[in-house]
Amino acid sequence: MTQVQLDVAIVLAAGAGTRMKSDTPKVMHQIAGRTIIGHVLNEVNSLSPKDLRVVVGHGREVVEPHVKEIAHSAKTVFQAEQKGTGHAVQLALADLSTTGTVLILAGDTPLLRKETLAEFFEAHSKNKNHASVLTAELPDPSGYGRIVRNEDGEIVAIVEERDATEELKGINEINTGVYLFDIATLKESVKKLKSNNSQGELYLTDVIAEIKNGGGKTAAILSLDYTETLGINDRAQLAESVAIMRDRINDQHMRNGVTIVDPTTTWIDSTVVISNDVTIYPGTWLRGKTSIESGAVIGPRSTLADVKVGAGASIVESQVSESEVGSGSSVGPFSFIRPGTKLAANTKVGAYVEVKKSIIGEGSKVPHLSYVGDAEIGEGTNIGAATIFVNYDGVEKHQTVIGKDVRIGSDTMLVAPVTVGDGAYTAAGSVITEDIPAGANFHI
Ligand code: UD1
Ligand code: MG
């Protein structure tokens, strides 16, 4: 990627997003585990702008703290009334003394990649343009601003769909809403914007004609992959973008040596880390800060959220969250592993077993039909089928501690707080209410 010297970046995110019909601001909807604006800021940040500004307005109380959290250096600019993209940029430039180049883009185009932005920057800088707009040719351009070029192919104006004649509507090259400007030129021209259009707004798009007519150098630069420039205005477009992002993420993992048996039913958040030679079976959803080491086998039909999976582990038809599954361990089918669980290496959690906030030592097994809650289990221990860790007395949760090499008989109730010492055996069907010393054998 080329070295980008970006002075300022402005992300426009003050609009209402009416067509989403949502109480959640549009840019806060999720794609692959990140908000829409999170994706945009992630790509823009990788170009290291010296000054990053986000224009917020609608849903500011939610959007502003989120922006600060994910992009620490970002400044937010408040646009109380949404009087158009030109107005938003006027506000963002108001106290800006820097010169150089500014990138402007919308907060609702999450599929744009940093590589595309970098190439756009390179073309703009090489040609010493005053204004460049990134364009795309869409199979269906309706709703977008159209790019009007003269006989020499130079861009002369951008005309919004609502303001376009039938002839102009026939143009399928559209404005993606991504621009690069020389800051001094832009400052001059945004002052001159007028709201003489069908929406009575100040359109940023009008600065292109303004700069061109004033003798500035303008260019429309066509991006090759139009899917990157899709904006999200409603839930159907959200689903379309989610699917494109899924394919993109899966492709990346497959190129890195991960086997994904059915990429159309495998959903992986952009934050997930997977080593090579991991196999993922259909219907699997990997979320958040999940990481998976080499040789592990996940799925079919499993959901992992914030899970650390060790090398060679296997997780089949199970739900696991905020937990660790040690190398060589096996989970499932039909296991439910809840937050705060740590399975050491080579453990087994089998069919219809629920584990919550528990540590299970190396080589230990909970093979069938059990509930393990608030427990610590040592190494080499076996928990018999249908054992219940009775951790809740109706008021408080209590801890159970089980030593190493213990054999808990089937259908045992361990009434916490209770301790079972190393090497102890308990008989099937016991209700354990008192501590059991090491080596005890209730079996004979
Ligand atoms: C805009 C462009 C259009 C382009 C399309 C690409 C204008 C006039 N039109 O249209 O040429 O094809 O994007 O997606 O710019 N916003 C603010 N404050 C405002 C108004 C908008 O911050 O007062 C933000 C919105 O939150 C959004 C972005 O600017 O992120 C674009 O605004 P939107 O109203 O969606 O413009 P489009 O109609 O999509
Ligand atoms: Mg839009």
Q: How many angstroms does the Cα of residue 166 sit away from the middle of ligand 1? A: 22
pLDDT at position 16 is: 84
Beta bridge partners of 373: 356
Ligand 1 binding pocket includes 231 (Cβ within 6 Å):
yes
Q: Are the CB atoms for 209 and 86 separated by under 8 Å? A: no
pLDDT at position 359 is: 98
> Strand runs (DSSP E) across 216-364, as ranges?
218-222, 259-260, 267-268, 273-274, 279-280, 285-287, 291-292, 297-298, 303-309, 314-315, 319-325, 330-331, 336-337, 342-343, 348-351, 354-356, 359-360
What's CA 270's distance to the chain center, in Å? 5
Ligand 1 binding pocket includes 174 (Cβ within 6 Å):
yes
pLDDT at position 425 is: 95
Token code pair at residue 129: 């343009």
Q: What is the DSSP letter of 59?
A: B
Ligand 1 binding pocket includes 121 (Cβ within 6 Å):
no
Q: CB-side exposure of 33: number of CA atoms within 13 Å?
A: 18
pLDDT at position 441 is: 85
pLDDT at position 413 is: 98
In the chain, helix, strand, coil percent, each to 5?
25, 30, 45
Ligand 1 binding pocket includes 107 (Cβ within 6 Å):
yes
Q: How many angstroms does the Cα of residue 240 sit away from the middle of ligand 2? A: 15
pLDDT at position 224 is: 86
Q: Are the CB atoms for 230 and 240 separated by under 8 Å? A: yes
Q: What is the DSSP letter of 263?
A: G
CA of 145, closest atom in ligand 1: 11
Q: How many angstroms does the Cα of residue 168 sit away from the middle of ligand 1? A: 19
Q: Whose CA is nearest to atom 1 of ligand 1?
A: 177
Ligand 1 binding pocket includes 9 (Cβ within 6 Å):
no
Token code pair at residue 220: 């429309």
pLDDT at position 19 is: 93
Collect all residues with Cβ–Cβ distance below 8 Å to 215 and sequence separation of at least 6: none
Ligand 1 binding pocket includes 108 (Cβ within 6 Å):
yes
CA dist., res. 36 & res. 108, Å (int): 6
pLDDT at position 62 is: 97
In this structure, the strands spanning 375-377 and 359-360 are parallel
Collect all residues with Cβ–Cβ distance below 8 Å to 255 and sequence separation of at least 6: none
Q: How many angstroms does the Cα of residue 317 sit away from the middle of ligand 2? A: 40
Task: Give the three-class secondary structure for 423.
Answer: coil
- Nearest of 339, 299, 331 to residue 313 by alpha carbon: 331
Q: How many angstroms does the Cα of residue 108 sit away from the middle of ligand 2? A: 7
CA dist., res. 365 & res. 23, Å (int): 46
Q: Is 368 a catalytic residue?
A: yes
Q: What is the pLDDT of residues 352-379, one digit of tens each?
A: 999 999 999 999 999 999 999 999 999 9
Considering 29, 87, 368, 443, which one is annotated as catalytic?
368
CA of 107, closest atom in ligand 1: 30
Ligand 1 binding pocket includes 66 (Cβ within 6 Å):
no
Collect all residues with Cβ–Cβ distance below 8 Å to 158 and sequence separation of at least 6: 133, 145, 146, 147, 148, 175, 205, 206, 208, 209
Ligand 1 binding pocket includes 12 (Cβ within 6 Å):
yes
CA dist., res. 444 & res. 433, Å (int): 19
CB burial string 188-213: b at 16+ within 10 A, e below? bbbeebeeebeeebbbbbbbbbbbbe
CA of 177, closest atom in ligand 1: 6
Verify cis geometry, omega within 30 degrees of 0, for the bond prior to 437.
no
User: What stretch of H or E contains 436?
Assistant: none
Collect all residues with Cβ–Cβ distance below 8 Å to 13 and sequence separation of at least 6: 27, 37, 54, 55, 56, 57, 63, 67, 106, 107, 108
Provide Rg for the chain, Cα atoms. Answer: 29
Token code pair at residue 39: 């994706």
Spans in the chain with pLDDT lower than 70: 1-2, 442-444
CA of 83, closest atom in ligand 1: 23
**Pocket-testing residue among 41, 85, 89, 234, ligand 1, by greatest number of atoms within 8 A of Cβ:** 85
Q: Whose CA is nearest to atom 31 of ligand 1?
A: 106
